[in-house]
Amino acid sequence: MKKMVLVLTLVAFALSGSAFAQDPGYQNNIGLIIDVGSSCGTVGEDTPFTAFIVLSKLTNNEVWGWEARFPFENLLKMNSVFYGSGVNAGTRPDEMIVGLGAPLLTIDRAVVVGELQFMVSSFYNDVTQPSYVFIEGIYFSLIDPIEGPPAYLEASGSTGVVLHNALGDPLDQSGVIPQLTMNGDCWVVAVEESSFGSVKSLFR
C-alpha cells in the first residue's frame, strides 16, 4: 500500500510541473505519465513499467466514465486497469470503454483514471529502438456513431465531453504523436497549472 501511495504521489507531482506539452489554455486533456512524473523515460529490457492514464484540465468535477484506445509500438503489453467501481466494455484490441457506478472526483481539475503495464521484451521487441504509446478514439464512440475522439462522461447518462491528447496539437485527433515515449527522444514540455499539494490528495 505504501508503495502504491508513493507511485501515485509521483503521478500527482507530474501534474504540477512538466508532464504535458500543450497550449496552456486548452481544456479536457488525456495523457500518459510514468512514475517519474513524465511522458518520456528510459527502461531496461524485460523490466515491467506502468503508464498512468491521467485526465487533466477538466471542465467538470466528476468523471462517470471514459473511453480511448491505446495502441503501442515496440512494447509487450502486460495488463490494463481502470480505477473505480464499474466495467470496461471495450472489446477491440487496446480499447477501453469504462463506465463507473460512482464518479471519480477531480482535484485541481485532474484525476488518474487507470494504468497500463508494459515491458520492452528482449524476445518480442527491438531493444535498440524507441517504444511508443499513442492515444486514439474508438469505434461507436460517445461523440461520433462511427469513430470519434477520446471522451469522458461528466454526468451519468450524458452525451460525453471530447478529450484532447495532452502532447501535441490539441485539435489534431489523428493519434500520430506518441503520448508516451520510452528509450527515445522526448518532447519539449510546457508547465501544467495543477499544484502538487492539491492533486496528491487524490491518492490519500
Burial of 49 (0-12, 13-18, 19+ CB in 10 A): buried
CB 73 within 8 A of CB 132: yes
What is the rounded radius of gyration, in angstroms, for the C-alpha atoms of the chain? Answer: 16
163: domain CATH number is: 2.60.40.680
Task: Please determine, for residue 1, whether its predicted confidence score (pLDDT) is greater than 80.
Answer: no
Query: What is the tally of structural domains in the chain?
Result: 1
Provide the 8-state DSSP code for 33. E
- Written as nine digits, the cell of 92 is 477491440
Q: In what order do the strands lie in the sheet with 164-165?
A: 76-82, 111-119, 49-56, 29-33, 164-165
The pLDDT tens digits of the residues spanning 137-193 come to 998 888 887 788 999 999 988 889 999 999 876 666 555 789 999 999 886 544 343
The boundaries of the domain holding residue 38 are 2-203
Instruction: Average the pLDDT over 82-109 and give the result.
Output: 95
**Separation between Cα atoms, residue 89 and residue 86, nearest integer Å:** 10
**Separation between Cα atoms, residue 87 and residue 93, nearest integer Å:** 16
The pLDDT tens digits of the residues spanning 60-76 come to 999 999 999 999 999 99
Tell me the pTM.
Answer: 0.81
